[in-house]
Amino acid sequence: MTVPTYEIYAVKYAGPVRGKLAFVLWMEGWDMDADRNYYLWVIKGNDEILVVDKGCGVRLAAERQLRDFVNPIDLLAKIGANKANVKKIILTHLHWDHAGGFEMFLQALPQAVLYVQKKEFDFWTKNPIAERAPFAKVSDESTIKALAQLEGTQSLQIVSGDAEIMPGIQVILAPGHTIGLQAVAVNTLKGTAIVASDCSHVHENVVQDIPSSLITDLIAWMESFDKLRAKASSIDLIFPGHDVKMLTDFPKEAEGVTRLV
C-alpha cells in the first residue's frame, strides 16, 4: 500500500513579539533580543485537512497583549480549512498559545476530534501542581476546564505515546518542554517532516542541541531532540514552534500563511 504524502503549512496568528534571546535559546544571549511569532499548522492531504494546535482566541490575545493578533479561524479559511474538511485537531501541548481559543474552535470546527497525549491531559486537568504559579503562567484556566469536560466523549482522543493518526501521519511523544508534548511526523514528498512545536522553539534549538528556557524536564528534552532528529529525513524538515523564519523563508500562500513542505 502506498503511503500518502501531505503538505505542511505554517499559519502565523500573532507576532513578531520581541524578547531576550535567552528566552528561546537556553542561557544564550541574555543581552541580545530576538523576535518570535505565534503559529498553528495545517497538514493538507487529498481528502482531509488536519490542524495542529489552536493558537489562542480573541480574549486571550487581549489579556496577553499579543501583538498583531489575527483570528486563527480567519487564517484557516484562507487556505480552505473549514468544518467540512477538518476532522482532526492535534494539540501538541496545553500551553495557552497552543491550546487556547477553545470555544472559538468548538463553534467553527464542531466535528473535529482533538488528539492529546495522556500524560499532558492528566497533568493539566488532574494534578494540583498545574495550578501552581510556574504552570499557571503558561496555561489558561478556562481552556483546561473546557478540555477536561470533553473526557470520555467522542470529541477527545487520548493518546498514550507514539501513535499513527492516519496513514502517513504519526504523533510522537516528545516531552521536556511540557510533561507530555507531542510532535507530529508527516510523510511528504521530501521525506519525513516533523512539526516539532515547542520541542524546538526556534530551529537553532534542535541544531545546537539547546532547548528554550521553558523547561519541565531537561533530560527528557535532550532525549526528545534525539528522537526527532532520528525520525526526520533531514534536520531542515524539523519545524519549530515560534521561529520567524517559518514566515520569511518559505513560499507565501496567503497573508500570514507559508508552505513549509
Q: What pLDDT does 7 receive?
A: 98
Q: Using CB atoms within 10 Å of the CB of residue 185, give its burial: 0 to 12 exposed, 13 to 18 middle, 19+ buried.
A: buried
Going by pLDDT thresholds of 50, 70 and 90, the confidence category of residue 106 is confident
Assigned superfamily of 7-165+243-259: Ribonuclease Z/Hydroxyacylglutathione hydrolase-like (3.60.15.10)
Which of 191, 192, 214 is CA-nearest to residue 202? Answer: 214
Q: What pLDDT does 172 receive?
A: 98
Q: Report the chain's mean pLDDT, rounded to a whole number.
A: 96
pLDDT digits (tens, 9 = 90+) for 157-172: 999 999 999 999 999 9
Look at residue 90 and tell me whether its pLDDT is greater than 80.
yes
CA-angle at 240, arms to 162 and 65, nearest 5°:
115
State the alpha helices, DSSP H only, in the chain.
Answer: 21-24, 58-63, 72-78, 96-99, 102-108, 118-126, 133-136, 141-148, 203-208, 218-231, 245-248
Strand 86-90 to strand 113-117: parallel, antiparallel, or no bridges (unpaired)? parallel
**What is the rounded CA–CA span in Å between residue 252 and residue 247?**
8
Q: List the beta bridge partners of residue 35.
A: 18
Its pTM stands at: 0.97
Look at residue 114 and tell me whether its pLDDT is greater than 90.
yes
Look at residue 1 and tell me whether its pLDDT is greater than 80.
no
Going by pLDDT thresholds of 50, 70 and 90, the confidence category of residue 127 is very high
Q: What pLDDT does 255 receive?
A: 95
pLDDT digits (tens, 9 = 90+) for 20-53: 999 999 999 999 999 999 999 999 998 889 999 9
**What is the rounded CA–CA span in Å between residue 204 and residue 232?**
16
pLDDT digits (tens, 9 = 90+) for 212-250: 999 999 999 999 999 999 999 999 999 999 999 999 999
Could you write out the DSSP letters of every residue in 36-70?
A: EEEEEEEEE-SS-EEEE--B--HHHHHHTT-TT--
Look at residue 144 and tell me whether its pLDDT is greater than 90.
yes
